[in-house]
Amino acid sequence: MTERASASPYLTIKNDLLSQIRSGQLRPGDAVPHEETIAQQYGVARATVHRAMRELAEEGFVERKRRAGTRVAAVGGRTTKVDIALVRDEIERTGAPYRFEILKRDILSGDPFGQRILRVDANQPVLYLEILHFAGERPYQLEERWINLDVVPSAETQSFQASNPNEWLIETIPYAEAEHKFSAQNANAHQGAALDVPEGEALFVIERRTALDAKMITYVRMLHPGQTYAMAATDFSLSTKN
Amino acid sequence: MTERASASPYLTIKNDLLSQIRSGQLRPGDAVPHEETIAQQYGVARATVHRAMRELAEEGFVERKRRAGTRVAAVGGRTTKVDIALVRDEIERTGAPYRFEILKRDILSGDPFGQRILRVDANQPVLYLEILHFAGERPYQLEERWINLDVVPSAETQSFQASNPNEWLIETIPYAEAEHKFSAQNANAHQGAALDVPEGEALFVIERRTALDAKMITYVRMLHPGQTYAMAATDFSLSTKN
DNA sequence: TTTAATTTGTACGTATGTATT
DNA sequence: CAATACATACGTACAAATTAA
pLDDT at residue A181 is higher than 70: yes
The closest CB to that of A81, out of B2, B85, B236, belongs to B236
CA distance B192 to B202: 10
Mean pLDDT of B79-98: 95
In terms of pLDDT, which residue wins out, B240 or B36?
A: B36
Which chain B residue has its CA at the smallest distance from A175's CA? Answer: B22
Closest residue to C11 (CA to C1') is B48
* β-pair type (A77-85, A231-238): antiparallel
Tell me whether B183 touches chain A (CB under 8 Å).
yes
Average pLDDT along chain B: 92
Q: What is the pTM of this model?
A: 0.93
Residue B6: per-residue pLDDT: 53
End-to-end C-alpha distance for chain A, whole angstroms: 30
Mean pLDDT of A96-107: 97
* Single-letter amino acid, residue A83: D
SS3 state of residue A62: strand
Mean pLDDT of A50-68: 96
Residue A6: per-residue pLDDT: 54
SS3 state of residue A155: helix
CA distance A126 to A115: 7
- State pLDDT tens for residues B69-88: 999 999 888 989 999 999 99
In terms of pLDDT, which residue wins out, B56 or A240?
A: B56
Tell me whether A2 touches chain B (CB under 8 Å).
yes
Stated in angstroms, how far is B7 CA from C1 C1'? 29
Tell me whether B57 touches chain A (CB under 8 Å).
no
Percent of chain A with pLDDT over 90: 86
The closest CB to that of A233, out of B89, B181, B229, belongs to B181
- State pLDDT tens for residues B1-19: 333 445 799 999 999 999 9
- State pLDDT tens for residues A118-140: 999 988 899 999 999 999 999 99
CA distance A235 to A201: 29
pLDDT at residue A4 is higher than 80: no
Query: Could you say which nucleotides of strand D lie within 7 A of any protein CB atom?
Result: 3-13, 15-19
pLDDT at residue B230 is higher than 50: yes
A184: Cβ contacts below 8 Å, ≥ 6 apart: A202, A203, A204, A205, A226, B184, B185, B202, B203, B204, B205, B224, B226, B229
List the alpha helices (DSSP H) in chain B: 9-23, 35-42, 46-58, 87-93, 112-117, 165-172, 189-195
At a 7 A CB cut-off, the residues bordering strand D are: A 8-11, 43-48, 51, 65-68; B 7, 32, 34-36, 46-47, 50, 53-54, 57, 64-70
Residue B65: per-residue pLDDT: 97
Query: Could you say which nucleotides of strand C lie within 7 A of any protein CB atom?
Result: 5-15, 17-21
Whether the beta carbon of A63 falls within 7 A of nucleic chain C: the reply is: no
Q: Closest Cα of chain B to A28: distance in Å?
A: 8
Contact residues, chain B, for A224 at CB < 8 Å: 184
Mean pLDDT of B186-206: 98
Tell me whether B8 touches chain A (CB under 8 Å).
no
Residue B64: per-residue pLDDT: 97
Whether the beta carbon of B15 falls within 7 A of nucleic chain C: the reply is: no
List the alpha helices (DSSP H) in chain A: 9-23, 35-42, 46-58, 87-93, 112-117, 165-172, 189-195
Average pLDDT along chain A: 92
Instruction: List, as one string, the DSSP characters of B85-141.
Output: E-HHHHHHHTT--EEEEEEEEEEESS-HHHHHHTT--TT--EEEEEEEEEETTEEEE
Residues 120-139 of B with CB under 8 A from A: none
In terms of pLDDT, which residue wins out, A236 or A95?
A: A95
Which chain B residue has its CA at the smallest distance from A86's CA? Answer: B77
Phi, psi of A212 (to 5 degrees): -140, 120
Residue A233: per-residue pLDDT: 93
Tell me whether A174 touches chain B (CB under 8 Å).
yes
- State pLDDT tens for residues B35-66: 999 999 999 999 999 999 999 999 999 999 99
Which nucleotide lies at the shortest CA–C1' distance from B34? D5
Whether the beta carbon of B174 falls within 7 A of nucleic chain C: the reply is: no
Stated in angstroms, how far is B69 CA from D3 C1'? 14
The closest CB to that of B213, out of A2, A78, A174, belongs to A2
Answer whether B89 sits within 8 Å of A76, measured CB to CB: yes
The closest CB to that of B239, out of A2, A83, A174, belongs to A83
